[in-house]
Amino acid sequence: MKLGVLFSGGKDSTLALHLAAEKEQVACLITMVSKNKESFMFHTPNIDVSALQAQALGLPLVRVETEGRKEEELADLECAIAEAKGRFGIEGVVTGAVESVYQASRVQRICNRLDLWQFNPLWKTDQKALLETLIAKKYQVIISGVFAYPLDQMWLGRQIDSAIVARLVELEGKYGISPSGEGGEIETTVLDAPLFKRRIEVADAVVEWSGSSGVYVIKEARLVSK
């Protein structure tokens, strides 16, 4: 079966892609670029890095911009998925959804209208186990956004490793945050993964902080040999 992957360049969509590729043929990536940084549906930090990630994976990228207005952005997503179906003959769509019924149900309705299968390989995965899987498989994942107390500027740009996972689990117990960011607490960017033919090197980045949240903005990046 040919699949298109809804791809943000974050840890969940990248891991979902790899799990799907173990069973079926991944034909393309589908990336939504939202002008609304508060989008209910789409990851926004460093979304432009998805073009480099697609090159690293050797996969074509369907890239569609959206104003990111709630619910209206779903029409743009449907257009993107329909484009992937027309260009690459996809028969199903992969998402990185773990807990979000809001996202999964809306993608499912789009798939139903387009007569496509939906595959959510990470659905209801234990969040600590998900992070440990990334480490075990030698993903290089950095935290590119933090949006909840007590996370602060010091988290931005840090690579997820065992110490980070332990601290996130500790904060789950104290403050109720979701360790892998299912409550919107963190966003991530993948710089290397098992299926990447080359890895991404960050040449220039800045931290943008406002109030109690911030993002690690990659201004310049390039592909380098692994």
**Enclosing H/E stretch for 118:** strand 117-119
Confidence of residue 201 (pLDDT cuts 50, 70, 90): very high
Distance CA 70, CA 74 (A): 8
Examine the pLDDT at 103 and tell me if it is beyond 90. no
Confidence of residue 44 (pLDDT cuts 50, 70, 90): confident
pLDDT of amino acid 214: 94
Residue 111 structure tokens: 């798939």
pLDDT for residue 221 is more than 80: yes
pLDDT of residue 46: 92
**What distance in Å separates the CA atoms of residue 135 and residue 129, rounded to the nearest whole number?**
10
Taking the alpha carbons of 180, 35, 29, 104 in that order, is the dihedral positive or negative?
positive
Query: Quick one: pLDDT at residue 40?
Result: 59
> Measured between alpha carbons, how far is 108 from 8 in angstroms, rounded to an integer?
18
Residue 42: predicted pLDDT: 72
| Residue 41 pLDDT class (50, 70, 90 cuts) | low
- Among 22-36, 38-52, 114-128, 174-188, name the one with the lowest average pLDDT: 38-52
Q: Is the dihedral of CA 137, 143, 147, 150 positive or negative?
A: positive
C-alpha 213/C-alpha 154 separation (Å) is 11
123-166 pLDDT, tens digit each = 999 999 999 999 999 999 999 999 999 999 999 999 999 999 99
For residue 95 the two structure tokens come to 């998402």
Give the pLDDT of residue 107: 95
Q: Please choose, from the candidates 186, 166, 190, the residue with its C-alpha nearest in 3D space to the C-alpha of residue 98.
A: 186
The answer, yes or no, to whether residue 1 has pLDDT greater than 70, is yes
Residue 174's contacts (CB-CB under 8 Å, 6 or more residues apart) are: none
* Ordered structural domains, the chain, with CATH: 2-119 (3.40.50.620), 127-224 (3.90.1490.10)
pLDDT-derived band at 69, boundaries 50, 70, 90: confident
